[in-house]
Amino acid sequence: MNTSARLARDIDGKAIAAQVLSEVAADVRELAQQGVTPTLAVVLVGEDPASHVYVRNKILRAKEAGIRSLERRLPDTTSQAQLLAVIAELNTDPSVNGILVQLPVPAHIDEGAVIQAIDPIKDVDGFHRENVGGLVQGHDVLTPCTPSGCMRLLLDTCGDISGLHAVVIGRSNIVGKPMATLLLHAHCSVSVVHSRSVDAKALCRLADIVVVAVGKPQMIDADWLKPGAVVIDVGINRIETDQGSRLVGDVDYASARTVASAITPVPGGVGPMTIAYLLKNTVIATHLQLKHAALSLLPTSTQEA
């Protein structure tokens, strides 16, 4: 049996997110001196209670960081055309810097069409194809918030991760794939494991860094980990226990921390980073728009390609 001295240390997502938010607030104050107030538009379609909670939290945190937010609440009966019209209006509104459509949208609306309708330079979720492609090619684009937050946790925890072997469990467009891309840009050797991987556990046991985004409560335990691995648990799952319901990750925290060197708890790990990076992206979007506006004032011959 391991003693507590050998348990992994917690990676404190709340503290690191607070640091990110204070950097965002400092940036917002600088922009204010130029007469610019970063503005985030949040569009919420329908009555999903969880989505309402997420949106409320995002707006609250935005306010704390000095970011103006505007909320567009639309009924469940909103047609795709009506939603696209709202997005088109926000795209052309020069006072709006970031647009977030809270997902999921009701089933009668095509999520892909909604994502593609957002101007890539205002796409603070980083899901638009132009941003996805830009990320893969290593351009300065808006990058999905959760993987960006995970990278910050890793860099704050490990320092240089260049050359390490990272395994990402899960290959979704919003977490797994962009996560793998960011790790590759940080010069890790990256393996991506998914539901069809043969002997995923053996592959995972080779990893110095494990990022888990499978959506399966407590699936990854100590047996999946190399001693000393750093574990980032993206999962958020509500489970019922004898003591009532509670949130758990995709990692069996109690088991994994007996082998890992550092691990994110759930809650209090990746979750706070996602909102922090949404606000960071809003500020990044504002800077990108200012840069584009300045470039468009230059004579064509002097503009960058």
What residues are annotated to the active site? 58, 102, 125
How do beta strands 262-263 and 230-233 pair? parallel
CA pair distance 44, 103, nearest whole angstrom: 8
Query: Any contact of residue 276 with ligand NDP (CB under 6 A)?
Result: no
Query: Any contact of residue 211 with ligand NDP (CB under 6 A)?
Result: no
Q: Any bridge partners for residue 39, and if so which?
A: 68
Binding mask 166-205 for ligand NDP (x = CB under 6 A): ---xxxx-xxx----------------xxxxx--x-----
Q: How far is the CB of 250 from ligand NDP (least distance, A)?
A: 6
How do beta strands 237-241 and 244-248 pair? antiparallel
Q: How far is the CB of 192 from ligand NDP (least distance, A)?
A: 8
Q: Is 4 helix (H, G, I), strand (E, B) or coil?
A: helix
Query: Any contact of residue 141 with ligand NDP (CB under 6 A)?
Result: no
DSSP category for residue 208: S
Which strands make up the sheet holding 98-101, listed edge to edge?
68-74, 39-45, 98-101
Q: How far is the CB of 6 from ligand NDP (least distance, A)?
A: 27
Q: Taking the alpha carbons of 241, 246, 251, 253 in that order, is the dihedral positive or negative?
A: negative
Query: Any contact of residue 58 with ligand NDP (CB under 6 A)?
Result: no
Q: How far is the CB of 89 from ligand NDP (least distance, A)?
A: 28
Contact yes or no for 212/232 (Cβ under 8 A): yes
Closer residue to ligand NDP, CB minimum distance, 172 or 189? 172
Q: How far is the CB of 45 from ligand NDP (least distance, A)?
A: 19
CA pair distance 273, 12, nearest whole angstrom: 10
**Choices 95-103, 128-136, 230-238, 257-265; region in contact with ligand NDP by CB under 6 A:** 230-238
**Choices 58-66, 80-88, 181-189, 232-240; region in contact with ligand NDP by CB under 6 A:** 232-240
Closer residue to ligand NDP, CB minimum distance, 142 or 270? 270
Query: Any contact of residue 102 with ligand NDP (CB under 6 A)?
Result: no
**Choices 14-22, 57-65, 268-276, 291-299; region in contact with ligand NDP by CB under 6 A:** 268-276
Contact yes or no for 185/163 (Cβ under 8 A): no
With contacts defined by CB under 6 A, how many residues of the chain interact with ligand NDP?
Answer: 26
Q: Is 279 helix (H, G, I), strand (E, B) or coil?
A: helix
Closer residue to ligand NDP, CB minimum distance, 51 or 172? 172
Candidate residues 230, 235, 259, 285; the one interacting with ligand NDP per rule CB under 6 A: 235
Query: Any contact of residue 238 with ligand NDP (CB under 6 A)?
Result: no
Query: Any contact of residue 267 with ligand NDP (CB under 6 A)?
Result: no
The DSSP string of 248-273 is E-SB-HHHHTTT-SEE--SSSSHHHH
Instruction: Tell me: cis bond preceding 106? Omega within 30 of 0 counts.
Output: no
Residue whose C-alpha is closest to residue 190's, from 202, 201, 206, 175: 206
Q: Extract the tokens encoding 145.
A: 């918030």
Closer residue to ligand NDP, CB minimum distance, 235 or 265? 235
Residue whose C-alpha is closest to residue 136's, from 162, 99, 161, 173: 173
What residue ranges bind ligand NDP (CB under 6 A)? 146, 169-172, 174-176, 193-197, 200, 213-216, 234-237, 250, 270-271, 274
